[in-house]
Amino acid sequence: MSDEPLVSVVLIGFNDVGRIGRALESIRRQTLRSIEIIVVDDASTDGTAEFVESVAVNDSRIRLLTRADNSGGCSAPRNDGLRMARAPWVMFCDSDDEYDLHACATLLRAAEDWNADVVCGTAIRHDVARDRDKRWRPELHAADRLISSLEQEPELLYDTISVNKIYRRSFLQEHNIQFPDGLLFEDQVFTLQCFLSAKRIGVVQAAVYIWNVDRKAEDASITQGRMQMRNVRDRVEINRRMDVLLRDSSDELRLAKSVKFLRHEGYLYLSAIGENPHPEAAKEAADEFRDYVRNVDPRAFDFIRPALRVAFYGLLTNDLDLLRRAMRWERWASVVDTVVVREESGDHRRELWATGSGEPLLNRSAREWLDISHLNLLDMPFSARRYFHELREISVSRS
């Protein structure tokens, strides 16, 4: 390898000796050989650093930094790696994931051909338990293209993970772009800063990153532990910071971000709140989430699915039972756990979740919040309906 690598790959890990070898090997075998591999160990106690050192003996491209104290997230280790990077281009990888064989070459070629500041590739979500692959946001990567700004394609807001991209290091330095320290979901702020600052953003169809999702693992990843209060608070804080970054952007882009929040983060957290068997924990999470949702652009609720809108109404009115029942439909379509009311007036017909009564919110009546006419539930064939069973009471006779 030449003294000056073309790409610096920052691999971070904490107590992941069982999986970091797979990630490290996927980087070492890249078809682009002129890379440096910066491994940042976040104060592991399971031998992760020692394992990396043993591999580095046979690969001079590997540089290891072992942090003295655990940071509790991904931001600090990634920022450490950024400061160590020597190459003109930078990429990131997590210890439980891996690269496609040609990831570095594919993204570097596109970045150099287009003279781009950032290039986004496709991530593959791999369901470990089921051994199934699914392209992450395939609609965003349907064609190779170069765009001049996020305003040109607001839909890129849905691709805010950092690990499927390559970044010009001088661009990050010029705009002082780093990961926000001390917060989870740091990718979203980092990537948004890149998108807003970049003059040329490349998008390629090629799959470059394998994102392993193991929901059954005891050490579930950050994105899978949504009911931990730190997760809820950090998710809200990250979105507040994104709102600040978008303050001077167009009305269209700010609205697109609000819609994305409701469709993605909103869906995830309303699902988690609805499924939580512990009432106090569910209430605490709902209270934290509600404070932010109250300030979301009211127009954004026009662009989400009817049952999800009903669930948000349940959140905003502190009716967690309504939230749960609406999310049962949203998650398990055809499970209708409510009375559907049809109102008819002349040629106008409307179907409502329950009675449609309740307080108006955000310049929207209760009927508008609870309008589910687009679902056509009352016209659903009987054979297509799924029965919902709920145990209301149980008694034991000792006679």
Domain boundaries, the chain: 7-218, 229-384
Other C-beta atoms lying within 10 Å of the C-beta of residue 126:
17
Whole-number Å distance between alpha carbons of 222 and 184: 8
* Residue 237, token pair as written in the block: 């804080």
Strand pairing class (118-127; 201-213): parallel
Q: Which amino acid is at 217?
A: A
| Nearest of 207, 231, 77 to residue 140 by alpha carbon | 207
Q: Two tokens at 278? A: 């512990």
Tell me if 116 sits within 8 A of 200, measured CB to CB: yes
Burial of 57 (0-12, 13-18, 19+ CB in 10 A): exposed
Q: What is the DSSP string of 203-227?
A: EEEEEEEEEEE-TT-TT--GGG-TT
CATH architecture assigned to 7-218: Alpha-Beta Complex (3.90)
What is the chain's pLDDT, residue by residue, as a tens digit (399 residues)? 457 999 999 999 999 999 999 999 999 999 999 999 999 999 999 999 999 999 999 999 999 999 999 999 999 999 999 999 999 999 999 999 999 999 999 999 999 999 999 999 999 999 998 999 999 999 999 999 999 999 999 999 999 999 999 999 999 999 999 999 999 999 999 999 999 999 999 999 999 999 998 866 534 444 445 557 888 999 999 999 999 999 999 999 999 999 999 999 999 999 999 988 888 989 999 999 999 999 999 999 999 999 999 999 999 999 999 999 999 888 887 677 788 888 887 778 888 888 666 889 999 999 999 999 888 877 777 777 666 667 778 888 886
Range list of H helices, the chain:
20-28, 48-56, 75-84, 103-114, 169-174, 186-197, 229-245, 251-260, 267-275, 279-293, 306-316, 320-331, 366-369
State the first-to-last Cα distance of the chain, in angstroms, to the nearest integer.
Answer: 83
Q: Mark out the alpha helices in 94-183 (DSSP H runs).
A: 103-114, 169-174
* pTM for this entry: 0.89
% residues pLDDT > 90 (the chain): 76
Residue 168 phi/psi, 5° resolution?
A: -70, 120
**Residue 97 corresponds to which amino acid?**
D
Residue 324, helix vs strand vs coil: helix
Nearest Cα neighbor of 70 from 37, 39, 96, 45 is 45
Q: How far apart are CA 184 and CA 238, in angstroms?
A: 8
Q: How far apart are CA 331 and CA 335, in angstroms?
A: 9
d(CA 14, CA 77): 10
3-state secondary structure of 152: coil
For residue range 103-144, list pLDDT tens digits in order.
Answer: 999 999 999 999 999 999 999 999 998 999 999 999 999 999
Which distant-in-sequence residues (6+ apart) come within 8 Å of 305 by Cβ?
330
Cβ atoms of 342 and 378 within 8 Å: the answer is yes
The string of pLDDT tens digits covering residues 353-383 is 886 668 899 999 999 999 998 888 777 777 7
